[in-house]
A and B are shown apart, each in its own frame.
Chain A
Amino acid sequence: MRREIPLLITGIVGVVFVIQYFIPHYPFNQLNNWFSDWFSIIAACAIWLGALNLLKVSANKIYRKREDWGFSIVIIVCFLIITIIGFAEGEGFRNIGTKFDWLYQYVYTPLSSTMFALLAFFVASASYRAFRARNFDATLLLVAAFLVMIGRVPVGDAIAMKLHLPLSIYPSEISSWIMNVFNTAGQRAIMIGIALGIVSTSLRVILGIERAHLGGD
């Protein structure tokens, strides 16, 4: 029974959500909304499992004095500080001027923005290493990237202007032509492919042919 009931639930719920797309009548028109609310409640409950797991793994590391165990203490302390402040502030925890907001603005935001900004360096090193004319496929990748990159900054057009090139082969023109033509075609093929893959995967899940996500008995 531990597998059959979940399979049944998946199948029935799946079919209902497929047909709701075609039915504008109540309650089918509400199902999407309801599900989104249900899911956010489930996720909010489930995060307790995640948080406990994080604390458990960190505590375990401290207890066993594994390498870098001191940093696990930092994790636990930071987690507790922000959680306690967040719960103490009440519903208006995000309001400007609260302690939670201070942590958000001066600790959380710099951290995530900077982590995001590391991409600037990684994009450079990845293009330095990967964009080499190793074979025909790689050459296409390289040439397209190169042309679009030049076309996306005003410097490219400035050089073309100095060289008195015809307007139609200005880097910005070439760049937007590649974006509009090849990028559109390629993205379209990928998008259609992904959609077919999703239809097939969803169908397999609904029919219970694909059931790895339910685990074992």
Chain B
Amino acid sequence: MIRLTIGNENPGCELFIIGTRGMVKLLNFIAPLLLCTVLAGFAVAQDVILPSETNIIDSAMVAPDGSLPLGISNLIVRDNPNDDGNSIWLVWDKSPDDDLGKITSYIILRAESREGEYSRVGDVTSGTTEFFDNSAVDGVEYYYKIAAVNSLHDNGQLQWEMQAQSDPAGPVKSSAQWFDMRRFNVFIGVIFLCSAILYFISKAKTGKELFIRKIAGLDSVDEAVGRATEMGRKIFYVPGISDMDNVQTIAGVTILGRVAQLAAEYETWIEVPVCKSLVMVTAKEIVKEAYVKAGRPDAFNDNQVHYLTDDQFGYAAAIDGMIVREKPATIFYMGSFYAESLIMAETGNAAGAIQIAGTGQASQLPFFVAACDYTLIGEELFAASAYLSKEPKLLGSLKGQDMGKAAILIFIILGLILESFNIFQMSNWFSVR
């Protein structure tokens, strides 16, 4: 599907071109698939509407007169659309007796032929009008009946039970789909956003200068590293407590690359205590590479990046101890943080360090804002590596993000106007299931 050839000079660049080409090919591949799914959707939907009939099935003990409920009506069975198969979707109109309190539950019965033996596949409480039978086997034809039940329990003992069964509905087969039509809007949205980003990346490569506004927290990185050098003290870099399975950690360690290179150039000791082993492995590679780029590969010490503990507060306790004992001049917090954010940042503040923080955890931002000198708010964290590197390709992606924002703003204004004046309910375009 995607042909990959890797150049020696600049593999990233190559990959990118192939990536764009691949995206176009992917579209070519998916478009017919979409069409097929739509057609298949129409073909598969088999609506069977049948009247219901009431009959007595079971009465264990003597039930009072008139306790036999009316049955349900309009039972519709069809393949659960947009799923991975093995699921049938049933909807019905509830029994008129439901609102009178004469129904205790509905029992769902299934058979493989219309007149065959029906067995119970599930039950739902009264008032329910929908059921997913997830025990179906793909390709097998099924028939369904629904029994409206009125029963009395006393002390867990069943006293009597009256059932009214509907007529069977079917046949129906379950199957798996290749495209989730409900997510088509997400598909369009993602394609738009990704193409905008890709377009501006490719435009940036042609060398056109892009304007990027000042981000105070990032402008101060130089100064903060410089200060540590002047004072002859360490720099601490804390990449958060999440593992590599979090994009914030990936963003955090990417920024570490730029900061470590700066520190290496200034000949200042940068220490990276980490909370997760995979992050340790990654951070080691990154710091080592940064020292190579700064032209001082020999200055790199393996102990600069060290593991403490996987535990959130154990990690915070250890970092607090390190801060008060070693008095670093500068502390960076970049990544995903939880409650430990303020424990570390307040200690750092009391120890007089310059602190620069950035996180995508919205709940922790207020604490960093209160205790740190500079804070990168949400999206700024993800823009940081581009901003610090000044690489046109990366800066281009920021411009692409802005296009996404612009589109969102336009949709919000349009949508607000259309919905406020009852013209069109645009918010439905954005619903996701």
Direct contact of A and B (CB under 8 A): yes
* Interface residues, chain A, with chain B CB atoms under 8 Å away: 3-4, 7-8, 11-12, 15, 18-19, 21-26, 29, 39, 42-43, 46-51, 53-54, 57, 60, 67-68, 111-112, 115-116, 118-119, 122-123, 125-127, 129-131, 141, 187, 190-194, 196-216
User: Could you say which of B284, B303, B314, B346 contacts A57, with CB atoms under 8 Å apart?
Assistant: B303
B77 within 8 A of A: no
Q: Which residues of B are interface residues toward A (Cβ below 8 A)? A: 2, 4, 6, 11-13, 15-16, 19, 22, 26, 82-85, 176-180, 183, 186-187, 190, 193-194, 197-198, 201, 243-245, 247, 250-251, 253-254, 256-257, 276-278, 280-282, 284-286, 288-289, 292-293, 303, 306-314, 316-317, 325, 339, 342-343, 346-347, 349, 360, 362, 365, 367, 369-371, 377-383, 385, 393-394, 397-398, 400-401, 404-405, 408
Distance A209 CA – B233 CA, assembled complex (angstroms) = 34
**Closest A residue, CB atoms, query B196:** A200
Residues of A contacting B278 in the complex (Cβ-Cβ under 8 angstroms): 42-43, 46
Cα distance A172–B232 when bound, in Å? 50
Cβ-closest chain B residue relative to A130: B370
Is B382 touching A25 in the complex (CB atoms < 8 A)?
no
Q: Closest 4 CB pairs between A and B? A: A215-B285, A197-B382, A50-B277, A193-B379
Of all chain B residues, the one with the shortest Cβ separation from A10 is B15
* Inter-chain contact B394/A43, CB cutoff 8 Å: no
Bound Cα distance from A57 to B11, whole angstroms: 37
Q: List 19 A-B contacts (CB under 8 A).
A: A4-B6, A8-B4, A11-B15, A24-B178, A49-B280, A57-B307, A112-B313, A116-B339, A123-B367, A126-B342, A194-B378, A197-B401, A200-B197, A200-B398, A206-B19, A208-B12, A213-B250, A213-B285, A214-B285
Select one of B257, B311, B365, B397 contacting A203, CB under 8 A.
B397
Known: A39-B245, A187-B362, A191-B362. 9 other contacts (CB 8 A): A11-B15, A43-B277, A126-B346, A129-B370, A190-B377, A197-B382, A207-B15, A209-B16, A216-B285
Most chain A CB neighbours (cut-off 10 Å) among B13, B26, B379: B379
Within 8 Å by CB of B276, from A48, A50, A190, lies A50
- A103→B369 CA distance, assembly (Å): 37
A29 to B391, alpha carbons, bound, how many Å? 37
Task: Find the A residue at minimum CB distance from B83.
Answer: A24
- Identify B401's interface contact among A7, A24, A119, A200, CB under 8 A: A200
CA distance A190 to B369 in the complex (A): 14
Which of chain A's residues have a CB closer than 8 A to the CB of B276? Answer: 43, 46, 50
Given A197-B382, A200-B382, A213-B253, is A11 in contact with B176 using a C-beta cutoff of 8 Å?
no
Contact A24:B312 (CB < 8 A) given known A194-B360, A197-B379: no
Are the CB atoms of B179 and A22 closer together than 8 Å? yes
Name the contact of A23 in the complex, choosing from B2, B178, B251, B379 (C-beta under 8 A). B178
Chain B: CB-nearest residue to A19: B26
- A78, B378: Cα distance in complex, Å: 38
A25 near B313: Cβ-Cβ < 8 Å: no
The CA of A50 and the CA of B381, in the complex, are separated in Å by 27
User: Which residue from A46, A54, A116, A118 sits with its C-beta under 8 Å from B309?
Assistant: A54
Would you call A198 and B247 a contact (CB within 8 A)?
A: yes
Distance of A116 Cα from B311 Cα, bound (Å): 12
Q: Kindly provide the distance from the CB of B213 to the nearest chain A CB, expressed in whole angstroms.
A: 14
CA distance A24 to B339 in the complex (A): 37
Closest chain-B Cβ to A145's Cβ sits at a distance in Å of 8
- A200–B183 CB distance below 8 A: no
Known A197-B383, A200-B400; judge A50-B22 contact (CB<8 A). no
Q: A21-B183, A115-B316 are in contact. Are A196 and B405 (CB under 8 A)?
A: yes
Please, which residue of chain A has its CB at the minimum distance from the CB of B244? A213
Q: How far is the CB of A139 from chain B (nearest CB, A)?
A: 14
Q: CB distance B378 to A193 under 8 Å?
A: yes
- Whether A119 touches B277, Cβ cut-off 8 Å, given contacts A25-B177, A141-B369, A204-B394, is no
Q: Which of B15, B250, B306, B398 meets A208, CB within 8 Å? A: B15
Is there an interface contact between B257 and A22, defined as CB atoms closer than 8 Å? no
The answer to whether B382 and A57 have CB atoms under 8 Å apart is no
In the bound complex, residues from chain A placing their C-beta under 8 Å from that of B397 are 200, 203-204, 209
Q: Which chain B positions have C-beta within 8 A of A24? A: 82-84, 176-180
Report which of A7, A115, A123 forms a contact with B15, defined as CB distance below 8 A: A7
Cα A42 to Cα B197 in complex, Å, equals 32
Least Cβ–Cβ distance between A207 and chain B, in angstroms:
4
Establish whether residues A11 and B4, one from each chain, have CB atoms under 8 Å apart when the complex forms: yes
A197 and B360 contact, CB distance less than 8 A: yes
Contact status B285-A25, CB under 8 Å = no
> Are the C-beta atoms of B201 and A25 separated by less than 8 Å?
no
Q: When chains A and B are docked, how far (Å) is the Cα of A46 from the Cα of B275?
A: 12
